[in-house]
Amino acid sequence: MTITFADLAKIYRQSEFVENSDKAIFCSNSAEDVELLKFLSSDEHYDESGIQTDSNELEANHAIPLVIGSPALALGRLYDDFEGFVKGDMTHLHNPKMSNKPYFIKSENIAFDDVEKPQYLLNYEGIKAFLYQLISMASYSDNVNKKLIFFSKKTFELSIDVPKQLSSFCDSLQELDSQQLQLMLDFGDWLNDEETSSHIDEKKSILAFVFADTLPQGASIIDVLQQIAQIDEAVRKQYALYMENFSYEKFVKKLTENSEKFVSRVNDSISKMLPQFLGLPLLTAIPTSLKSGDNWLVYVALCFYCAMCFLGLTYQKQVLDNLRNDVEQFEQKGKVPVQLKPDWQKDKEKIETLLKKQEMLYWLLLVVVGSCFFYAFTKFCLYLHIIEVVYG
């Protein structure tokens, strides 16, 4: 049978400890618990359990004197009182393998896995979790001197040497109410928020600055607890200002990119439109070059080419209309900051000017295409003598 700390805790709970001593009186009406005691105090398991009894008769409903020492570290930890627990636990703060071991506090009759715990113990667990968060936010952790080093505009050192201020720290645990505890836990969760993890360096810098601005030099974790509300508010406000500036700079970049994209799209539509009409003068001039006024194949080709140009024009007109809608949508849904409205208006005027000139070019080319088509179609009809038949 393997010994677990839960087995030890069952014996601890039914024992009356002698203050400032390793002696205790065990009494239980359960034969099963007595058998467990025999097993734990046997010569084979004494070194591991730390439980010893000099009585040869171990029976239920009888007071059994015990000597209870510290169990093996692999099993867990046993403390005389709450201050001893805090001191021992904080000593191993940088060693999670030890600080996360199960524990039992004699004076409080409290075990690590109790469902209901007193407020001061919940406060301690919350502060411990918050300390781990501060360690992760610090620029450097001095384990020897038990300090956290924060770098911002100036260096700030925060003492986390709790055993050195044990009484004051335990008093702070008693004074901390559930609302303050929740505020501290929420602040710790916010510092570790995954949604803003890309800005963690800025959070660290802001936290360091607020510490240096709010706390005195040589401050300890107790000072942080006493001013947690002010620290939380100051850090969140400065971070909000940073994010506002960050969003502003990001939007400036977005605005510039979109303005350039709109201009590029207008210019691109022009470059796609013009080459289609370079063949019009050539096809119109071919009959003259051939000195033939009745080359119907040329006129048919010119009519087809004009039709192609017309379709190209309608397509480019649709592109221009879509582009104009995109510009309007960007202004309405892009949520342009008030500070950037003047810049956007300048860019918008430039884009609209290009669109108007493009539309003027569209109508001009449409007239050219229509004239060329009318010219070619008339020539083709004359070649077939349709006009002579109709009017002849």
Domain termination site, one of 165, 198, 226: 226
pTM of the model: 0.61
Instruction: Check whether residue 291 and residue 341 sit in a common domain.
Output: yes
At 122, the amino acid letter reads: L
Instruction: Check whether residue 124 and residue 75 sit in a common domain.
Output: no
Q: So what's the pLDDT on residue 339?
A: 57
Query: In angstroms, rounded to a whole number, what is the distance separating the alpha carbons of residues 219 and 224?
Result: 8
Q: So what's the pLDDT on residue 244?
A: 67
Instruction: Check whether residue 74 and residue 138 sit in a common domain.
Output: no
What is the maximum span of the chain, computed from C-alpha positions, in angstroms?
144
Which stretch of DSSP H or E encloses residue 142? strand 140-142
> Do the beta carbons of residue 94 and residue 120 sit within 8 Å?
no
Domain termination site, one of 67, 89, 110: 110
Query: In angstroms, rounded to a whole number, what is the distance separating the alpha carbons of residues 128 and 266?
Result: 61
Geometric angle at alpha carbon 378, from 372 and 382, rounded to 5°:
145
In a domain, 385, yes or no: yes
**Considering its fold, how many domains does the chain have in total?**
3
What SS3 state is found at 220? strand
In a domain, 194, yes or no: yes
Query: In angstroms, rounded to a whole number, what is the distance separating the alpha carbons of residues 203 and 209?
Result: 10
In a domain, 339, yes or no: yes
Task: Provide the domain limits for residue 286.
Answer: 272-391
The list of the chain residues with pLDDT below 70 reads 1, 56, 196-197, 244-263, 265-296, 330-341, 344, 383-392
Instruction: Check whether residue 292 and residue 337 sit in a common domain.
Output: yes
Which stretch of DSSP H or E encloses residue 13? helix 5-13
- CA within 13 Å, CB half, 3: 26
- Chain centroid to CA 355: 41
For 203-231, what is each residue's pLDDT tens digit?
888 888 899 888 988 899 999 988 999 99
Q: Which two tokens stand for residue 344?
A: 């956007």
Angle 178-191/228-273 helices, nearest 10 degrees?
Answer: 30
In a domain, 236, yes or no: no
In a domain, 250, yes or no: no
Instruction: Check whether residue 330 and residue 354 sit in a common domain.
Output: yes
For CA atoms 328, 334, 335, 336, give the dihedral sign: negative
Geometric angle at alpha carbon 231, from 221 and 250, rounded to 5°:
130
Instruction: Check whether residue 106 and residue 138 sit in a common domain.
Output: no
Nearest to 220 by CA among 167, 271, 177, 264: 167
Q: How many residues does the chain have?
A: 392
Instruction: Check whether residue 105 and residue 126 sit in a common domain.
Output: no
Nearest to 224 by CA among 235, 120, 85, 309: 235
Angle 31-41/5-13 helices, nearest 10 degrees?
Answer: 120
Backbone φ, ψ for residue 69 (5° rounding): -100, -175
Burial class of 286 by CB neighbour count within 10 A (0 to 12, 13 to 18, 19+): middle
Angle 119-137/178-191 helices, nearest 10 degrees?
Answer: 20
Contacts of 262 (CB under 8 A, 6+ apart): 323, 326, 327, 347, 351
Domain termination site, one of 199, 226, 253: 226
In a domain, 93, yes or no: no
Q: So what's the pLDDT on residue 41?
A: 87
Query: In angstroms, rounded to a whole number, what is the distance separating the alpha carbons of residues 63 and 77?
Result: 25
Backbone φ, ψ for residue 137 (5° rounding): -90, -15
